[in-house]
Structure 1
Amino acid sequence: MAQEEAHKTADVVVTAAEKPMTDKEVTVPPPVAEKDVTPTVASGEKAESEKEEEETVVAEKVIVPSPEELEKKALAEFKELVREALNKREFTSPAPVKEEKPEEKKPAEETKGEDKTEEKKEEEKPEAIKLEEKTDAVAPAETKSEEKEAVSATEKDSSVEEDGTKTVEAIEESIVSVTPPENTVVSEAEPMEPEEVSIYGVPLLQDERSDVILLKFLRARDFKVKDALTMLKNTVQWRKENKIDELVEEASEFEKMVFAHGVDKEGHVVIYSSYGEFQNKELFSDKEKLNKFLNWRIQLQEKCVRALDFSSPDAKSSFVFVSDFRNAPGLGKRALWQFIRRAVKQFEDNYPEFASRELFINVPWWYIPYYKTFGSIITSPRTRSKMVLAGPSKSTDAIFKYISPEQVPVKYGGLSKDIPIATEDTVTEAIVKPAAKYTIDLPASDACMLSWELRVLGADVSYGAQFEPTTEGNYAVIVSKNRRIESTDEPVITESFKVGEPGKIVITIDNQTSKKKKVLYRFKTLPISDL
């Protein structure tokens, strides 16, 4: 019966499996949900990745520091390195080479003593081994005399111990003799006081003005802090070797060649160098005199640097250099070019970033090969971009482009000289056309002393001046008769007239040449009570 029931259940199962399924039972859900899920996940990942990229881009934009921040960061790092160097006395003190040598020798002597003791021990070890071998060989043969051998062994051990104590004492004696005295250890342990270093009359890190000086060294080395520190150390050492602080107090005889006069339009002090003075053969007679001239040039540079304002980065802490090559010696004067190369090298290495602009005026035709040689010496593109070259016909215009005429000396085409009119009084420029006249009116509203300066670039014109009163019926007064101004005459005309009534001074410039002329003039009135 059980078998039959099993067969029935099996049949039932089989029939259930073989039973065809109706349409209602076949309800397979379409995989729509699966298709929808996968793209949503991918789109979500893409959105997240895009957001991350945007955040990274924004972060990169925010992280990039400005040039001012980079400058501040470099200055802070530079000041920290300078502080460490001052604490270690690395600027002026020589390296303690002599003190390190005995310290290196002492451990060597100790090692030698230890090597000797080790050699002694090694030499003693084989002897002990030989003694043990001999005792081992004799032991089986001499069985009867064990007590005698024990006594002899104890005697030998005592002798070995005595030898060991002797070697230990020898080692201790050698170590005691090598140990350094206590005084030297105490002197080395004492902390070194930081040194005080001044440059251009400003103490490093002890004055706010030193920040401007340190920035100059950083700019000269493209804000590479370690290179700037090396440059600063070399400058301090150079100043010490050449006694620059003492050189400032010395007198000199070369004022005609190099001098400081006035300021440019931005307020920088202007230094003029006249290389025509190098025609003097006595200057090249020996190296001592040429070195003396170079020292004086450094002295002038140092005096001008110390007069600068280092109180803030916005202050004018650099110069405009004007080099005049009128009547300068030719290429045959090797001493001149050697001097120029040497001076340029020393100024770039020890007075970095002190040149706001360099004007080379009255440049002759042979200056081109000189410039190629001179330019190759200057390695900094920053310095090369500050140089301006002008021939004899364009020198005055080049100077007036950067320096106002009232600040330019008379010998270089300006109006600056010892006169009642101050350099602060502005200069007016005018152009006189070819074959034409030009008049200038200088008004005077009350009784006063009226003074004026006038210069015609290129000369070859006629000049005249008269006073014309405002009141009708009064006669005009001739102040200066019409006269021809030649190129050999005094270039600057300076005149004054005491005015007793309201009126004006009328100046007439007559240009009968075929070239236009530039006129520079300025005037000033002083009350009669101030005279």
Structure 2
Amino acid sequence: MAEETKKPASDETTPPTTVADVPVPEKESTPQPEPVPVPETPEKSADPVTEETDKEKTPVTESASFKEESNKVDELPNPEQKALAELKELVQDALNKHEFTAPPVKEEEKKPEAEAVAIAVAEEEKKEESAAEEPTTDAAPATTEPVKEEPPVPAAVVEEKKETTPVVEEKKEVPPVVEEKKETPASADPSETVEKVTEKVTADEEDGSKAVEEIKETIVEVTATSTAPVEEDAAVPAEEVAATEEEVSIWGIPLLADERSDVILLKFLRARDFKVKEAFAMLKSVVAWRKEFNIDELLEEDLSGLGLEKVVYNHGVDKEGHPVCYNAFGAFQDNELYQNTFADKEKMDKFLRWRIQFMEKSIRNLDFSPDGICTFVQVIDLKNSPGLYLYKKELRQATNRALQLLQDNYPEFVAKQVFINVPWWYPAYYRMINALFTTRTKSKFVFAGASRSAETLFKYIVPEQVPVQYGGLSREGEQEFTIADSATEDTVKPASKHTVEFPVTEKSNLVWEARVVGWDVCYGAEFVPSAEGGYTIIVEKSRKIAAANETVITNNYTAPEAGKVVLTFDNQTSKRKKLVYRSKTKSSD
């Protein structure tokens, strides 16, 4: 049996471990399917899942680094800077024209209205044609009588009437303009005017060319008077729009107000691969949805008391400062909680509003400055969840609706998405839904089975920030240690003893806490004096801690003399164990 001795050191590094790991049953010889886009997978080439992932998803694996793009405009590549400038121009133009507040429903309603106007115009044209023909036929007998006495006159009058017909037809272009104002009476005036002019010409026996000029002049005057009010009315709203600029805020940040707006616009551009028009369309859609969903009112709505605090919650930050959001839908195994949340449509809608409210409040705590943190790390705990998704239709429907809303209206808010306690069959399910995600989204996914969940989280989050139920040291209530007290990670090899030593001085009080992920090891503590011939004092008798009793061991010891406290971890299993511990010394009273 091998034996190891380990002294705590602040600069001690954690041995490399494979973070993403989905357990595969020993009886199955076929490796589990793809896609596990985790940057750490090359470290364990023997894993069949990793090998398949590397072969089939090479682009995703290469892009799956945990580094985010810069939000500083001067550090962006030239094409991205150009795309941002173009998007800002489109946004500015939309603000000037009040396009963000214009209700989209009215634009759709314009189509049937336009069709109705076109039909009305066609009917009016038919009426005008018939009205124009009636006076000419009536006037013909009146004008033919004097023609017999004076032959030159009828010739002029006939020419007059032949020319008046196309003149009346020229008026057909006017009714559409008049119809925009919904004023139809103007169509009757030109025909009457033509009659009067024709009669006057025949009575006075004037030259034919003069009569034609008079008719044309009369019609022009009528059209001018009918179109003038339309131009005046159309010009008024244009001046009003130009005088005021629309103000639109999203997530509490006014668009184009300062550099924080650039960070938000970059989210939309990255979500659409820097396609400016698509990013602008998405931005308008999000603004319209927020107005429809009444986000400002939702923020003030009291949705407490639903018992969902342990379903979705924020806890600590990762190593780069991103807030960490945990999603544990296995909590819905509680039938009472499930019924209170999904019993009917009203309760499901309330759950959806609660989830959006939670997202909005979390976003308000982010820093949208170019140097700030404006994304989350999402941890999705699949423990006890798959059965719920398969057999609980209400939960599946509600979560799918929430997921769709989050994907459509909250672009680029996830820096990393870590799936833990993944069941062995989940990769096959993921392959079926793989096409729903973009390559950029899939590059943020990390999958870990139950045996590797803690190690996966420790890759991105320090143990003192990880909740105790996920293998970390963070617990609720007042504790001896806080998140400011750093912890050390170590590994207990299979079939071996591992010791950790804490040096102490005379009459000093040493406090420590430790845990082994999964436990199933023997643990004990003793004090060994520095003086030769001193006696070893047993602080904690060696005992086996089962996996079911996975807890954090906390203890303290006041040393009577200088020496060291030695913790012993005896791992008799065939699996290596993750060990986390920390200590501090306090002066004894």
Partner of 1:251: 303
Partner of 1:86: 95
The reply on whether 1:435 has 2:495 as its aligned counterpart is yes
Q: Tell me which residue corresponds to 1:423.
A: 483
Q: Could you tell me which residue of structure 2 aligns to residue 497 of structure 1? A: 557
What does 1:94-173 correspond to in 2, within 5 Å?
94=103, 119=133, 122-123=136-137, 126-127=140-141, 130-131=144-145, 133-136=147-150, 157-158=203-204
Matching of residues 14-53 of structure 1 within 5 Å:
none
Instruction: Say whether residues 1:325 and 2:325 are aligned partners.
Output: no
Alpha-carbon offset, residue 445 of structure 1: 4.3
Q: Relative to structure 1, is the Cα distance of residues 133 and 446 closer, same or farther in structure 2, using a 3 angstrom cutoff? A: farther
5+ long unaligned stretches in structure 1: 1-64, 140-152
Which ranges of structure 2 fall in alignment gaps of 5 or more residues? 1-73, 154-198
- Counterpart in the other structure of 2:252: 201
Structure 1's 179 and 120: CA in aligned 2 closer, same or farther, altered over 3 A?
farther
Q: Are the counterparts in 1 of residues 420 and 450 from structure 2 also a CA contact under 8 Å?
A: yes
Q: Give the Cα–Cα distance (whole angstroms) in 1 for the partners of residues 588 and 402 of structure 2.
A: 51
1:315 paired with 2:372, answer: yes
Q: 1:528 to 1:289 in 2, by over 3 A?
A: farther
| TM-score, normalised by the number of residues in structure 2 | 0.66
Quote the offset at 1:156 in angstroms: 5.5
Whether contact under 8 Å (2:515, 2:580) holds in the other structure is yes
1:393 counterpart SS class: helix
CA gap 1:473/1:66 in 2 versus in 1, 3 angstroms: closer
State the partner residue of 1:219. Answer: 270
- Contact (CA 8 Å) 2:378, 2:416: kept in 1 or not? yes
Question: Aligned partner of 1:274: which letter?
Answer: A
**Paired residues, number:** 448
Relative to structure 1, the CA distance from residue 116 to residue 448 in structure 2 (aligned partners, 3 Å threshold; closer, same or farther) is farther
1:66 shift after superposition: 10
CA distance in 1, matches of 2:586, 2:138: 113
Structure-1 separation of matches of 2:396 and 2:436: 12
- SS of alignment partner, residue 265 of structure 1: coil
| Secondary structure, counterpart of 1:134 in structure 2 | helix
Alignment-derived partner of residue 436 in structure 2: 377
Once residues 480 and 296 of structure 1 are traced to their aligned partners in structure 2, the CA distance between those partners, rounded to angstroms, is: 47
Partners of 2:298 and 2:357 within 8 A in 1:
yes
User: Structure 2: how far apart are the matches of 1:475 and 1:209?
Assistant: 65
How far residue 356 of structure 1 moved from its aligned partner, in angstroms, is 1.1
Residue in 2 aligned with 1:486? 546
Task: Evaluate the alpha carbon distance shift between residue 189 and residue 512 of structure 1 in structure 2; reply closer, same or farther with a 3 A threshold.
Answer: closer
- Compared with structure 1, are the counterparts of its residues 333 and 169 closer, same or farther at alpha carbon in structure 2 (3 Å cutoff)? same
1:188 and 2:237 correspond = yes
The residue type equivalent to 1:130 in the other structure is T
Match of 1:92, as an amino acid?
Answer: T
Q: Distance in 2 between matches of 1:444 and 1:138?
A: 135
Distance 1:376 1:336 in 2: 22
Structure 1 letter corresponding to 2:316: G
Conservation of the 8 A alpha-carbon contact between 1:463 and 1:508: yes
Shift of 1:433: 2.6
Kindly provide the CA deviation profile for residues 182-234 of structure 1, in whole angstroms up to 9, marking residues without a partner as x: 99567424322222111111111113211111000001011111111110111
The AA in structure 2 aligned to 1:202 is I
2: CA distance between counterparts of 1:356 and 1:188? 45
Q: 2 CA distance for matches of 1:89 and 1:327?
A: 49
Residues 528 and 208 from structure 1, CA distance in 2 versus in 1: closer, same or farther, beyond 3 angstroms? farther
Higher relative contact order (CA 8 A, sep 6+): 2
Asked which structure has the greater CA Rg, the reply is: 1
